[in-house]
C-alpha cells in the first residue's frame, strides 16, 4: 500500500470535511443511521423474518440502488431461494460461530441472487470496525492506493480474499487514526473517504487480462464464477423487462441456469434459455440445450462461457441438429453489460421517478 498516496488523499478528505462540515456531518449521520437500522436485525430476528422483514433489511442497502422497484427484485430473491433458506443463511453469515471465511463461502454456495456487494455491506454495517464494504468503488480506491491482487469481478471474491481485503481496510483506518485524521474512524467512514476522494479514472485495459481474472482456479472458484454469471444474466433480463429466473426446469430432464421469459401479443410466450459453462462436461451442457428445445416456447438457446470453451463447443456441435441454433455469449461481456446497465439504472433511479417504497 502506498502510504504517501494515502496521506495525500486523507489530507484532501480532511480539508473537504472541514470546509463542508454541515454536509459532511449529515452524510456521516445518515450512514450511522443506516448502520443502526441493520444492527436491529439480531440473529433471532433474522431466523424469524417475514418477507416484509427481508424487504426492510435489504431495500435500504446501497447495493440495491440499481433497482427502482426493490420489491420486484427482493421477490425474485425469495422465489429463487425460499424464505427458510434465506433466514438460515443470513443469520449464519452475520452471526454464525464459524470463521467469516467459511460463512462467506457457504452463503455464496447456497444463495442465488445475493452477491458480495450486498453481503459485505450487511457485514460492514453490522460490524463497522471489522468488515469492509466491497464494491466497484472500493476496488477503484484500493487500486489508487497501490494495493495489489484485487478481484476485479465479484465472481472471484471468495471468503479468503474478503478476509484479506477487510484487513487492508482496517490497516487504512488504523493509519488514519495514527496520523490524527479523525474523519476516518471505522469502515463506514473509510467508505465515505473512498467515495469522496479515490474515484479516479483508471484505464482497466492496461491493468489485467480479463480472461485470466475469470479463469477458475479450482472447483470453488468455478462454482462462484458460474453462479455469479448466472445471476447477472438474470439481472440483465430483468433490466430489459423480461421475467427472469435461475435454475429453472424448462423441459423434461432439462433444468437450465437462467431463462428470460416474456409474453408478446398474439405470439404468446417466448423463452430464451442460457447455460453457463465454467467447468465440467460440454456434453452435459449440449444435452441440456437440446432438451430445452423440446419446449415449443423456447425461441433462443445461448451457451455462456469464455472464448476457449466457445471454440470447443462449436466443434462439438458441428454434427448436432442444434448447430445453427446455439448462440454464444462470452461471460466477460456479460459482466461488462451488467455493469453498464447497473450504472444506467442507478443514474435513472437518482431522478426519483419511482417512489422509494416500491
Please write the tens of the pLDDT for every residue from 112-170: 999 999 999 999 999 999 999 999 999 999 999 999 889 888 888 899 999 999 999 99
- DSSP letter assigned to residue 356: T
State how far the Cα of 304 lies from the Cα of 118, in Å rounded to an integer: 25
Please state, in angstroms and as integers, the Cα–Cα distance from residue 220 to each residue in 17, 85, 159, 332, following that order: 43, 20, 11, 19
Please state, in angstroms and as integers, the Cα–Cα distance from residue 205 to each residue in 153, 209, 215, 242, 303, following that order: 14, 8, 17, 32, 25
Which H or E run contains 272? Answer: strand 268-276
User: What pLDDT, on the 0 to 100 scale, is given for residue 201?
Assistant: 67
Alpha helices in the chain (DSSP H): 3-19, 21-39, 43-48, 51-58, 70-81, 83-95, 100-110, 116-126, 136-144, 159-178, 187-197, 210-214, 219-239, 282-292, 307-316, 331-349
The grid coordinates of residue 216 equal 477458475
The number of angstroms, rounded, from the C-alpha of 153 to the middle of its chain's C-alpha atoms is 9
User: What pLDDT, on the 0 to 100 scale, is given for residue 49?
Assistant: 96
Q: Exposed/middle/buried for 179, CB within 10 Å: 0-12, 13-18, 19+?
A: middle
Summarised one tens digit per residue, pLDDT across range 163-189 is 999 999 999 999 999 999 999 999 999
Contact 97, 153 (CB under 8 A): no
Tell me phi and psi for residue 251, to 5 degrees: -165, 170
Contact 340, 239 (CB under 8 A): no
Q: Exposed/middle/buried for 296, CB within 10 Å: 0-12, 13-18, 19+?
A: exposed
User: What pLDDT, on the 0 to 100 scale, is given for residue 91?
Assistant: 98
Which one, of 223, 199, 218, 228, lies nearest residue 116 by Cα?
Answer: 228
Q: Is 41 helix (H, G, I), strand (E, B) or coil?
A: coil
User: What pLDDT, on the 0 to 100 scale, is given for residue 289?
Assistant: 87
Residue ranges of the chain with pLDDT lower than 70?
A: 201-214, 216, 267, 353-358
The CB density around residue 347, as the number of other CB atoms within 10 Å, is 11
Which one, of 249, 253, 325, 315, lies nearest residue 284 by Cα?
Answer: 253
All structural domains of the chain: 3-208 (no CATH), 222-342 (3.40.1350.10)
User: What pLDDT, on the 0 to 100 scale, is given for residue 203?
Assistant: 61
Biggest distance spanned by C-alpha atoms of the chain: 70
Tally the C-alpha atoms within 13 A of residue 83's C-alpha that lie toward its C-beta. Answer: 11
Which H or E run contains 248? Answer: strand 243-251
User: What pLDDT, on the 0 to 100 scale, is given for residue 306?
Assistant: 85
State how far the Cα of 53 lies from the Cα of 39, in Å rounded to an integer: 13
DSSP per-residue letters across 54-110: HHHHHTTSGGGTT-SSHHHHHHHHHHHH-HHHHHHHHHHHHH-SS-HHHHHHHHHHH
Amino acid at each position: 500500500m502506498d502510504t504517501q498516496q494515502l496521506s495525500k488523499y486523507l489530507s484532501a478528505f480532511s480539508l473537504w470535511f472541514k470546509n463542508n462540515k454541515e454536509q459532511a456531518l449529515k452524510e456521516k449521520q445518515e450512514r450511522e443511521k443506516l448502520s443502526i437500522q441493520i444492527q436491529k436485525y439480531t440473529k433471532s430476528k433474522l431466523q424469524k423474518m417475514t418477507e416484509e422483514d427481508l424487504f426492510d433489511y435489504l431495500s435500504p442497502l446501497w447495493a440495491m440502488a440499481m433497482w427502482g422497484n426493490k420489491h420486484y427484485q427482493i421477490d425474485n430473491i425469495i422465489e429463487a431461494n425460499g424464505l427458510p433458506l434465506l433466514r438460515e443463511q443470513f443469520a449464519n453469515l452475520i452471526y454464525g460461530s464459524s470463521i467469516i471465511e467459511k460463512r462467506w463461502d457457504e452463503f455464496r454456495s447456497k444463495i442465488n441472487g445475493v452477491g458480495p456487494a450486498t453481503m459485505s455491506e450487511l457485514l460492514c454495517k453490522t460490524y463497522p470496525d471489522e468488515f469492509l464494504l466491497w464494491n466497484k468503488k472500493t476496488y477503484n480506491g484500493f487500486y489508487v492506493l497501490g494495493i495489489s491482487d484485487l478481484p476485479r469481478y465479484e465472481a472471484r471474491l471468495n471468503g479468503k480474499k474478503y478476509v484479506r481485503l477487510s484487513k487492508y481496510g482496517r490497516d487504512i483506518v488504523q493509519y488514519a487514526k495514527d496520523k490524527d485524521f479523525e474523519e476516518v474512524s471505522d469502515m463506514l467512514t473509510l467508505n465515505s473517504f473512498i467515495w469522496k476522494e479515490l474515484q479516479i479514472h483508471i484505464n482497466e485495459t492496461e491493468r489485467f487480462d480479463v480472461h485470466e481474472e475469470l479463469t477458475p482456479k479450482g472447483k470453488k472458484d468455478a462454482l462462484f464464477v458460474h453462479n455469479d454469471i448466472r445471476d447477472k444474466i438474470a439481472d440483465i433480463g430483468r433490466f430489459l423487462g423480461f421475467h427472469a429466473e435461475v435454475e429453472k426446469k424448462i423441459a423434461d430432464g432439462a433444468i437450465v441456469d437462467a431463462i428470460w421469459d416474456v409474453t408478446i401479443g398474439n405470439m404468446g410466450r417466448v423463452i430464451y434459455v442460457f447455460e453457463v459453462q465454467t467447468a465440467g462436461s460440454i456434453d452435459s451442457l449440449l444435452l441440456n440445450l437440446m432438451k430445452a428445445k423440446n419446449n415449443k416456447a423456447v425461441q433462443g438457446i445461448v451457451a455462456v462461457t469464455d472464448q476457449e470453451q466457445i471454440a470447443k463447443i462449436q466443434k462439438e456441435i458441428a454434427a448436432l441438429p442444434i448447430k445453427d441454433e446455439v448462440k454464444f455469449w462470452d461471460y466477460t461481456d456479460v459482466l461488462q453489460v451488467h455493469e453498464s446497465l447497473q450504472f444506467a439504472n442507478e443514474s435513472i433511479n437518482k431522478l426519483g421517478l419511482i417512489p422509494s417504497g416500491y
